[in-house]
Amino acid sequence: MPPSPQSLLSTLRAFIASDAQLQIVRSFRAAPSSPASTPPLKSLYVLDSSFNPPTLAHLRICTSALRDDRHDSGQRQRLLLLLATQNADKPAKPAVFEQRLSMMCLFAEHLQHAVSEEREEQNVADAGPVEVDIGVTKLPIFVDKVKEIAGCKEYRGDEEVEQVHLIGFDTLVRLLDTRYYPPEHTLKPLEALFGRHRVRATRRLDDKWGCRREQDEYVEAVAQGKREHEDGKKEWAEKIHLVEGRKEGEEAVSSTKVREAIASGDKSALERLVPGSIANWILDFGLYKPDAPKEESS
């Protein structure tokens, strides 16, 4: 069972009242047999989302990144699921933060199980369990989160850990939008990201974001120096990896569809959108119903 929302609420309130900008509230990892047996962490995958709720789309983003980026046998893989208590673009949504954190804990366990099963099927040897952290932050701006994660004691080692941010193409467009970087409104603040870290952006099939070729051209424009007048650098394109997401004809997964499934009482539809344990948790707590409690400031 995940931590209860009530127990997480006290942790959340203490964090909000503190001067800390980021805190790891739960970690899911196996204890090493000895300190010497734990190799240094080289890469940290970061999924920063509202998790309202965690969905199978989130799961696909995480598992594909961990699968594609798996390198040396025995290399540690660690993932940070990050929930912002403030967001630069989005207003508060229905599920209160402590409920989301509980669902994120369920999601972490489901993800570890899914990755373990996949590795067994593929006969992947010497791959330890994926380590998953649940974190909260007060920072609404992407580059500020990057700096705060880099300074987090949980991730400090002999060398700076590379952060791999798992984002959607829509987030990539916002990331490279100068209006988010006052007062100069240039891309210079992104040097803190692309100087050491990288992003893995999942393509969006929506008409709003263009076709596959148009999304490729967006990144190619960076490589061709077409953002240099905004202090963007050509070499940043090497740190932007576009990956396939939902296939043509595949059912879209969204929080809106979750709400629709709940409103219609369609549990089978809900289980096509979120992991089974989260579907049961949502139904048990009556989340996302019209009379469910709205978000309040803690």
What is the value of pTM for the model shown?
A: 0.91
**Encoding tokens for residue 221?**
């424009």
Q: Which residue in 271, 252, 263 sits closest to 288, CA to CA?
A: 263
8 A C-beta contact, residue 183 and residue 151: no
Q: What is the CATH number of domain 5-27+41-248?
A: 3.40.50
- According to DSSP, residue 185 is labeled T
43-48 and 162-168 strand pairing: parallel
* Structural element, H or E, at residue 119: helix 97-121
- Residue 281: band (very low, low, confident or very high) from pLDDT cuts 50, 70, 90: very high
**Most confident residue range from 30-34, 123-127, 213-217:** 213-217
pLDDT above 50: residue 297: no
Q: Could you give the dihedral angle defined by the CA atoms of residues 77, 81, 82 and 87, in that order, rounded to the nearest 10 degrees?
A: 130
Phi and psi based region of residue 225 (left: phi greater than 0; alpha: psi -120 to 50; beta: remaining) = left
> Distance between CA 103 and CA 26 in Å, rounded?
12
What local confidence, expressed as pLDDT, does residue 125 receive? 62
SS3 readout for 8-50: HHHHHHHHHHCCCCEEEEEEECCCCCCHHHCCCCCEEEEEECC
What local confidence, expressed as pLDDT, does residue 143 receive? 94
What local confidence, expressed as pLDDT, does residue 296 receive? 42
> Distance between CA 178 and CA 193 in Å, rounded?
15
Beta strand ranges found along the chain (DSSP E): 22-28, 43-48, 78-84, 131-137, 162-168, 198-202, 240-243
- Whose tokens are 């263009």? That residue is 210
- CA-angle at 8, arms to 289 and 107, nearest 5°: 65
- Residue 140: band (very low, low, confident or very high) from pLDDT cuts 50, 70, 90: very high
CA 214 to chain CA centroid, Å, is 24
- According to DSSP, residue 139 is labeled -
Burial label, 103 (beta-carbon count in 10 A; 0-12, 13-18, 19+): buried
**Least reliable range by pLDDT among 98-102, 120-124, 166-170, 260-264:** 120-124
What local confidence, expressed as pLDDT, does residue 210 receive? 86
- Residue 280: band (very low, low, confident or very high) from pLDDT cuts 50, 70, 90: very high
Mean pLDDT within 55-80: 86
pLDDT above 90: residue 39: no
Select the more confidently predicted residue: 220 or 256.
Answer: 220
What local confidence, expressed as pLDDT, does residue 245 receive? 83
- Residue 113: band (very low, low, confident or very high) from pLDDT cuts 50, 70, 90: very high
pLDDT above 90: residue 34: no
Mean pLDDT within 170-179: 96
**Encoding tokens for residue 289?**
């119903």
